[in-house]
Structure 1
């Protein structure tokens, strides 16, 4: 009987983590364009390079309301370098179908849907080109032109 209780408790924890991560991702909806970076380990070269791309193009990130979410190894999820208690590593991997041993970069739009996915690095030019072609971003740029 104990294994059944233990299994039920684990299931409830997993469901709770998934629900918390879903709610955590909703906080970005209509506010930000997350770039999720999944890596097998925190110190991997692909992760470091994708973060360098973000840092080098920080102004473009800000202009496009982007945030960088890192899911690396079994470490806590971070958003722009700060631990995100409302996002769970395993739940995000499951939601975006990224195995623990794979690198992936996924751009999510302000509407909460996946816009671009690569199993390798995404250059800033490709991210910006993808975002700048979105109707919402075009409207944002028009509004900036008329208010500035």
Structure 2
């Protein structure tokens, strides 16, 4: 009986931690997820390079950058992390056929942009700066 209880706790903990992949950032950070299958690493590299060139603007907008693959992810910005197993692909409802996709999630956790090609930083920052919560942040900073 004790082993069964331990097994249930381990299963529950594993399911809960995976379900919280993105929830841990909600209301604290906006998230950019750069997803690829293992064949589109060149696109991922280009997208991440574009983003990292603008690290000050990422910080200013409270952005976390995540690289995701089929069953794992890692944080790229503000700090690099190790790969961790994840159900992020299911959480974002990414099709099995998808080779490359970029997501922007707002502070509320909602998907604000979903694009299957490289996203230019100007487009990304313009979209964020037009969001009501970002406008309020800018207004508070200017006061």
Which TM bucket (shorter chain)? Answer: 0.7 to 0.9
Residues 17 and 119 of structure 1, relative CA distance in 2, 3 Å threshold: farther
Q: Which of 95, 99, 112 matches 1:99? A: 95
**2:66 equivalent in structure 1:** 69
Q: Name the structure where strand makes up a greater proportion of residues.
A: 2
**2:129 equivalent in structure 1:** 132
Once the 2 structures are TM-superposed, how far is the Cα of residue 105 of structure 1 from its aligned partner?
0.2
Q: Name the structure where helix makes up a greater proportion of residues.
A: 1
Whether 1:38 and 2:12 are equivalent positions in the alignment is: no
State the distance in 2 between where 1:102 and 1:64 align.
27
Is the Cα–Cα contact under 8 Å of residues 42 and 73 in structure 1 kept in the other structure? Answer: no
Is the Cα–Cα contact under 8 Å of residues 65 and 75 in structure 2 kept in the other structure? Answer: yes
Residues 42 and 64 of structure 1, relative CA distance in 2, 3 Å threshold: farther
Once the 2 structures are TM-superposed, how far is the Cα of residue 33 of structure 1 from its aligned partner?
0.5
What's the TM-score, normalizing by structure 2?
0.80
* Secondary structure, counterpart of 1:77 in structure 2: strand
Residues 31 and 84 of structure 1, relative CA distance in 2, 3 Å threshold: farther
Is the Cα–Cα contact under 8 Å of residues 103 and 119 in structure 1 kept in the other structure? Answer: yes
**2:23 equivalent in structure 1:** 26
**Unaligned runs of at least 5 residues, structure 1:** 1-8
Q: Which of 107, 115, 119 matches 1:110? A: 107
**1:119 equivalent in structure 2:** 116
Is the Cα–Cα contact under 8 Å of residues 21 and 88 in structure 2 kept in the other structure? Answer: no
**Unaligned runs of at least 5 residues, structure 2:** 1-6
Whether 1:57 and 2:54 are equivalent positions in the alignment is: yes
What's the TM-score, normalizing by structure 1?
0.78
What is the root-mean-square deviation of aligned Cα atoms in Å?
A: 2.4
